[in-house]
Structure formats: structure tokens, C-alpha cells
Structure 1
């Protein structure tokens, strides 16, 4: 019990929003706000003009009165920048092993409880939540469009809730930059949920404005991330889509437990999640040969902002090397531990 709770606190944390040296703060103002109505900002670490990371932050989610109750601590309510402050993994721009150390890095904070998908002011009893993740994300996307005219490589990624943000917003970059190598990587965002959850979340968050309207087959109340991967990967067969996760991710299992109505995970719930995760990956791969996955053993949640970004190895394949191949040629193969 304590292990999954510790993992959840790491993801949801409430660190003071102060970026370290090397990061420029961009204040879009206007409708760009956190869930409590406080101002939202995003951050840029300048680097190569032709290589860009767009990195969506994680931090929980909520979709009804119980989960959105601030006492639940299931989501971030205000800007928090512990990823930048820790400077680990993909954020470590001094590590010579970091293949992205000299790229321009656009960091999209998350404090709207809607997977970066929302555009809704929701009322849950006496509580008002600004699910404005899509409004905020669009500001960072437009900054890239306006300031990076001719990139050669773009990695659109994110941890946890940010992983879902990365799949929703990746097609915008693929359409805008037809000649660039645009790669999407979802980190610890396997989208295991019953079909009944999608209409609830869609209504709560108001995801319509986030959907790339030029791609057909997008019905908000019927879409999970599994569907988005299949639809987007088919729409862009020459681009690469990917997911990373551990096989027993404690935080993903915890949120799955909440979604199916169990306040705490049980061994049966955990097994359901594992089966659902493997089924999701298999169905995406069957529909989209340009989709790749890296599965590691264990229970850890997220990798891109952790020291394990460099040390994780499955067989003879290090994750950092696998990701380097993904962004360079788009065909790294699938990696999974023996079962």
C-alpha cells in the first residue's frame, strides 16, 4: 500500500513554481489558467533551432465531484515545476548521454486535471474547476509554430497525464511540419479504462476543441487514448508513435482502480490493468505498424524525467538508446521483458 501511495505523491507533488536557470518563462495570460483559476505559464530552454522537444507535464486527473474534491489530492491545482527543478532524465542538459541535451525544450505545465485535453468550466456541487488544458496547451503549440519555422526533428512527449497530452497534440505538429521527423512518445499513459469512462470524462473536460478536426473518425464521447493512437497513426503512416511503461505501474493501476469504482487497488484489479495494457498495445500495433512500445519490468511510474532514463535496460536494449533510434529513424522495434 505504501509503495503506490509514495509513487502517487511523487507525481502529484505541489512544488513551488520557480524554474531553474536556463528556462525562459512565457506568460500567455488571458484564458490560460490552472484548475483553480490561477495564472498558467509555460517554459522554454533554448537550444538548436532545428530540433525541438515539446514535453507535456503529468499530474493526475479528475472527472466528478469525488475525484475533483481538492482533499483527494488526485490532481495538481496550481503550477508546479518539480520536473525542471530536479533536472533529471531528459531535463538533464549537462549529461553527455542525453541525446536531447542541445535541443530546444518546450515544457508545458499541467494543472487542469484533464490530460491537457479540456476546455470547460465544470461545476461539481459547490466546486468549480477550470478544465482548460487544451486552451493552455494550444498556447505552447502556437509558440512553437511562431518561433520554430523549419525544424528537422520534433519529439512530442509527456509523462502520465502528459503522455495523453502528447498523443492528442502530436498531429498538430505533424500537419504543420510535413517535412520534419516528428515522433510521439507517451510515457506511462497506456489508457486502460472501461468504455463507460470515456463519455463521463469527455463531458467533464469538454475535449472537442482539442481534437484535430481535419482527421476523420473522432467522436469525443467514444474516444480513449487507444483509439487516438490507432486513428492518428493511420492518418500519419510515415510518422512514428510510441509508448513506454513498466508492466505493473503502480500509479496507472491506482487510477484504473478509481475509474472502476475501487478506492484501493487489489491484486485482481492490478491483473485486470496488466491484461488491459497488453491488449491495448496489441490492438494499436495491429492497426498501425508505425507504432512501437518499450515495456520494462517493475512498478515505477514514468521514465523521461527520472535517472532511470539512462539506466533502464531490457535485455540488451537501453531505453535511452531505443528512444534515440526512434527519433532518428522511427523503427526501433518493440521491447518487452520475457514473460
Structure 2
């Protein structure tokens, strides 16, 4: 409780503490106070441990639903419960090391140019190796059974959003790396739960993920059980098993055309697809060609996907302060995001000299 004593806690947050919702922590700059929320229902991390998410209570009319990354896995080597603090080299398999405090970037709410400064936040970590999509218990070896329950966990946080922010006027679903894979699906689910809210989806750094039948069958279906968990949106006669990752965007757009959809990618981010190489085109694959090809296919399927493609091979954007420094063709990323969320979707931004 040391951090709580040092921070000035708003009365609304103090009320949550007294109500027993969870442990509050203050951010590094003394502004963001987080409440840990124990998820209800059959929610677990990959190792069967308890799943929880985090809340920053601010403006109840404006909410960021943040789907964190955390990596993915689909074989015994990738999914092993090795390493320290609940994470190995491929994914986080428990929540033990995840706390959204001491952040900068978009979590620095003291900056006037932060487009999310006044928002409430729900911070949903991935600890199941399935990009927030799974609902399966998969045995990879005699001593390794993984609870791929990302969709169960994510929709529990979504139910909390709908219950505690019923009058939300604006919800921005932000997906980071692997968390951005499912972001358009959650955008559609938010629109279903909160029909009066304007919903914006901003997914970062999964633009090169493939729509590959082998990947869809081997990983999404057989390992993660994602297709059995998908919402029953009947669109153009296609069932969930007709959806690959890029098609998630088109399905969400056709399900609710009012959703604003947007993505960000570095043109040659090697970390965004490091495990996916065998399902991409070429050896080595041209990541920018994959990103551009996926966007063309999404828009050909009837979606309007706003996009910002930056040069180079960087990876993180949300936590570092360079969130405020990224600029392509004189368009600053934070200004572009602000336009997305204020009813004036901007033109696409794409680097000319994109090389790493």
C-alpha cells in the first residue's frame, strides 16, 4: 500500500478500494491509479492460474479497452511453462509479471497531446498464448496442458465494461501486437454490448498476419479453439471458419459499418511475425508486401480500413515516449489517432522510403 499513501487518490477510486474491488497502484508520474479486477467466470491463464485485468477510472463516457500483447504459442516448445515471472521467450503464461504501472507513452496522462489523457482504461493482458481468441484446453505433451482461454478472459473484461460503463459514448479498442489480431472482433462485440457508443478500433503491428488455410486450421482451430468461440455473425453466408486474421477486419466492418477501423505498422518489424514465417509468402518474406496485400484484400471485401505505415523495423509504440515522436510525411501519429477518435477519420499515411 506504499504507493497508495504517496498518491492523491480521487474519491471515486477510493470508493472502489473500500468496496473491495482490488489493489490500487499509482503510475510512475503519480497520475494513473490502477485497480486490479478479478475476473469472474471460467477465466484462467495458460497454466490454470487466476486471470485478472486492470482498470483506471476516469471519464465514464470515454473508455480505452486495451488488449495487450504478450506473445502466442502453438507447440510444446513455444508453450512450455519455463522462464521466470510467468513468461518464456514466446509468450506470457501467467499474469504474475503484468502490471500497467510505471508507463510512459499513451499511458502518460499528464501530456496535453495524449489523445487518451482523460479516458478511463481497461487493460486486458494476454496470458493464454492465443491472441485473446481461444477457448480450448490443449495437451501438447504428457506434462503440458495449456488453457487457451483468451476469448473467455477478454469477454469477461468486456462484460465488466458493459456493466460499469453503460453510458459510454466513446470506446476505443486498442490492440497491441498480438492483441491487435483480435481487436476488430472485440470492436464488434463492444458495438453489440453498447449500441449507443461510438466504437473505434486501433490495432498495431499485426498487419502482416496471414490468411493462410493451414495456419487457420492448425492454430486458430485445432490449437486455440478460436472458431468455436467466435461470435455468430452471419455475414454473406460465411461462417466463422471462413475467417482468417485479415478477414476479422472485414467481418467486423460488415457486421457494424459504423465502427471506425484503423491499423498501424512499422513496414519491416521483424518481431511482429517472427513465429509466422512459414505461413507467409517468400523466404524471407517481404513484410511490407504482406501488410499492403492484406489491407487491399480487407478493403476489397468491403471494409474501410484507415492505415498508418511507418518506415523501419521498430516494434513498440504504445509504452515508449516515441509514441509522440513518430511522424510520416509531416503527419504525427498522435494527431492522426486523435482525428480517428473525434469523428474526422484522416487520410491514410504510408511511408515512401520504408526500408529498414
The TM-score, its normalising length taken from structure 2, stands at: 0.83
Alignment of 1:322 with 2:336, yes or no, is yes
In structure 2, runs of 5+ residues without a counterpart are 1-22, 27-32, 83-87
Match of 2:90 in 1: 74
Shift of 1:277: 1.5
Question: Which residue of structure 1 lines up, in the alignment, with residue 227 of structure 2?
Answer: 208
Aligned twin of 1:253:
273
The alignment yields a C-alpha RMSD, in angstroms, of 2.2
Corresponding residue SS for 2:182: helix
Alignment CA distance shift 1:293-1:55 (3 Å): same
User: How far 1:221 moved relative to its partner?
Assistant: 3.9
Aligned residues: 316
Aligned to 1:12: none
Separation in 1, partners of 2:128, 2:172: 23
Deviation above 6 Å: which 4+ runs of structure 1? none
User: What is the CA–CA distance in structure 1 between the aligned matches of 2:156 and 2:103, rounded to whole Å?
Assistant: 24
| Secondary structure of the structure 2 residue equivalent to 1:280 | helix
Q: Contact 1:19–1:81 (CA<8 Å) still a contact in 2?
A: no
Structure showing greater relative contact order (alpha-carbon pairs closer than 8 Å, 6 or more residues apart): 1
* 1:278-297 matches, cutoff 5 A: 278-297=292-311
Q: Does 2:56 correspond to 1:51?
A: no
2:46 counterpart (24, 28, 35): 35
Contact residue 191 and residue 225 of structure 1 kept, 8 A: no
* Shift in CA distance, 80/324, structure 1 to aligned 2, threshold 3 Å: farther
In our comparison, the structure showing a higher alpha carbon Rg is 2
Aligned to 1:84: 100
Alignment of 1:178-193 (within 5 A): 178-193=195-210
Name which of 6, 10, 20 aligns with 2:25.
20
C-alpha displacement of 1:61: 0.6
The separation in 2 between residues aligned to 1:334 and 1:19, in whole angstroms, is: 39
Report what 2:167 is aligned to. 150
* 1:80 CA displacement: 5.0
Task: Pick one of 32, 50, 60 that aligns with 2:71.
Answer: 60
Q: Match for residue 315 of structure 2?
A: 301
Q: Relative to structure 1, is the Cα distance of residues 225 and 146 closer, same or farther in structure 2, using a 3 angstrom cutoff?
A: same
SS in 2 for 1:33: coil
Q: Which residue of 2 aligns with 1:161?
A: 178
Match of 1:228 in 2: 248
